[in-house]
Amino acid sequence: MRLLTGEASLRANEALLVSNAHVAAQIAVALTTLR
Amino acid sequence: MTSSRFIIAEHVAAALAAGRPVVALETTLLTHGLPPPHGLRVARGLEAAVWEAGATPATIGILAGQVHVGLDSHGIETLAASNAVKVNPGNLAAVVAAGIAGSTTVAATAWAAARAGIRVFATGGIGGVHRGATETGDVSADLAALARHPVAVVCAGAKAILDLPRTREALETLGVPVLGLGTDEFPAFYRRSSGLAVDARCDSPAEAAAAIEAHIALGLPGGILVANPIPGEHELPSDLHDQALATALADAEVAGVRGRAVTPFCSNECGCSPAKRACGPTRRCW
């Protein structure tokens, strides 16, 4: 249970971090067109 | 803006001066949030994701008492291998004065990003109101920082171990707008929904950017939270999520861990030394 949780949470953590970085960059790009 | 204690990397300064998009990245995930070697690999992956989407990454951390906005590859490696202190607004100045290494939390990163003129910051999850806060008063400095610094913080909600309803309530009290990206609900980190409403839904990054630009143009104070749910294919099943969370909290109870010590206990934050942080695959990342 703990092993499964550790591996699963690591994968999920990485996935959400990368998704957030990608979205943040898209927002930053869009912001430059709105000034 | 750059001083002997606050250094903006040349490539970041050039991007900001030219009006090109820049995204701030924190470093607590590098030193405390993920076990080695995952922290370093993920930190590099986040920079790559920002570059690929057309923006310049600015990874923020403290080396030898200097706040760096835009650590280079060597700087990120050095920080990962150091005995970095987890830095929040309470100890930031002391860490700088001591001339040591520090990794920046959401609160410290938001401050540094705002000071550098960076408008967007990506992280995993924010801190918030801890379970048992009615007894302990333990509330993360991230919330006050979000209310204070004019930065849009993109996250997957608040850390799962926290008291999410009270965290959501605190954001509202502090006047921090919460935008849901493609969702009407405040995400719960490893889960896409929490049953808690966001202030407004945006169905694209462009729509979120328009709301952020209006916030800035109106002179509204403080930052904005952009809540981006974890990608569906990586969402933890609810039974696994709930069981793991309950187990972590029960372990804390058995170990006699209470109050503000519960979150680091459940997160297996094993201290500052890279050796101590190498907890292996059983580590839980709440």
Q: Indicate whether B92 belongs to any domain.
A: yes
- Helical spans, DSSP H, in chain B: 10-17, 28, 38-52, 73-81, 92-98, 106-116, 133-136, 141-148, 164-174, 205-217, 238-254, 262-267, 274-277
- Number of folded domains in chain B? 1
Interface test with B, best of A2, A4, A10, A17 (most B CBs within 10 A): A17
Sign of the four-CA dihedral A22, B125, B207, B236: positive
CB B205 within 8 A of CB A23: yes
Residue of B nearest to A7 (CA): B281
Inter-chain CB proximity A6 and B281 less than 8 Å: yes
pLDDT at position B261 = 67
Phi and psi torsions of B102, nearest 5°:
-150, 145
Reported ipTM: the value is: 0.91
Q: Indicate whether B178 belongs to any domain.
A: no
pLDDT at position B128 = 95
pLDDT digits (tens, 9 = 90+) for B104-119: 999 999 999 999 999 9
Which residue from B21, B156, B286 is facing A25, i.e. has the nearest CB?
Answer: B21
pLDDT digits (tens, 9 = 90+) for B15-70: 999 999 999 999 999 999 888 899 999 999 999 999 999 999 999 999 999 999 99
CB B91 within 8 A of CB B121: no
Q: Indicate whether B142 belongs to any domain.
A: no
Which residue from A4, A20, A27 is facing B209, i.e. has the nearest CB?
Answer: A27
Residue B264 pLDDT class (50, 70, 90 cuts): low
Q: Are strands B56-63 and B102-104 parallel, antiparallel or unpaired?
A: antiparallel
pLDDT at position B263 = 66
Q: Indicate whether B7 belongs to any domain.
A: yes
* CA neighbor of B125 nearest in space, from B281, B267, B274: B267
Mean of pLDDT values over B1-13:
92
pLDDT at position B279 = 38
* CA neighbor of B178 nearest in space, from B228, B115, B238, B236: B228
Task: With a cut of 60, say whether residue B123 has pLDDT above it.
Answer: yes
- Amino acid sitting at position B140: S
Q: What token pair was written down for A28? A: 């930053």
pLDDT at position B96 = 98
Domain of B99 in residue numbering reads as 1-123
Q: Which of B52, B77, B135, B159 is catalytic?
A: B159
Task: With a cut of 90, say whether residue A18 has pLDDT above it.
Answer: yes
Q: What token pair was written down for B285? A: 């990342």
CB A32 within 8 A of CB B59: no
Q: Indicate whether B111 belongs to any domain.
A: yes
Most confident of A1-15, B213-227, B244-258: B213-227
DSSP characters over B211-255: HHHHHHHTT--S-EEEE-PPPGGGPPPHHHHHHHHHHHHHHHHHT
Output the pTM of the full model: 0.91
B159 is catalytic: yes
Q: Measured between CA atoms, how close is B184 to chain A, in angstroms?
A: 17
For B54, other C-beta atoms within 10 Å of its C-beta total 13
Which residue from A12, A26, A27 is facing B236, i.e. has the nearest CB?
Answer: A12
CB B92 within 8 A of CB B85: no
Q: What token pair was written down for B144? A: 């006050």
Inter-chain CB proximity B154 and A11 less than 8 Å: no
pLDDT at position B33 = 87
Q: Indicate whether B146 belongs to any domain.
A: no
Q: Indicate whether B9 belongs to any domain.
A: yes
Task: With a cut of 80, say whether residue B175 has pLDDT above it.
Answer: yes
Report percent pLDDT > 70 for chain B: 91
Q: Look up the CATH number of the domain holding residue B13.
A: 3.40.1790.10
CB B130 within 8 A of CB B136: yes
Q: Indicate whether B102 belongs to any domain.
A: yes
> Tokens 């949780």 appear where?
A5
B213 is catalytic: no
Inter-chain CB proximity A21 and B152 less than 8 Å: no
Least confident of B4-13, B35-44, B219-228: B35-44
Residue B280 pLDDT class (50, 70, 90 cuts): very low
- What is the C-alpha to C-alpha distance for residues B26 and B122, in angstroms, rounded to an integer? 8
Residue of B nearest to A35 (CA): B213
Angstrom distances, CA of residue B189 to CA of B3, B63, B119, B131: 36, 30, 23, 16
Inter-chain CB proximity A25 and B285 less than 8 Å: no
CB B278 within 8 A of CB B35: yes
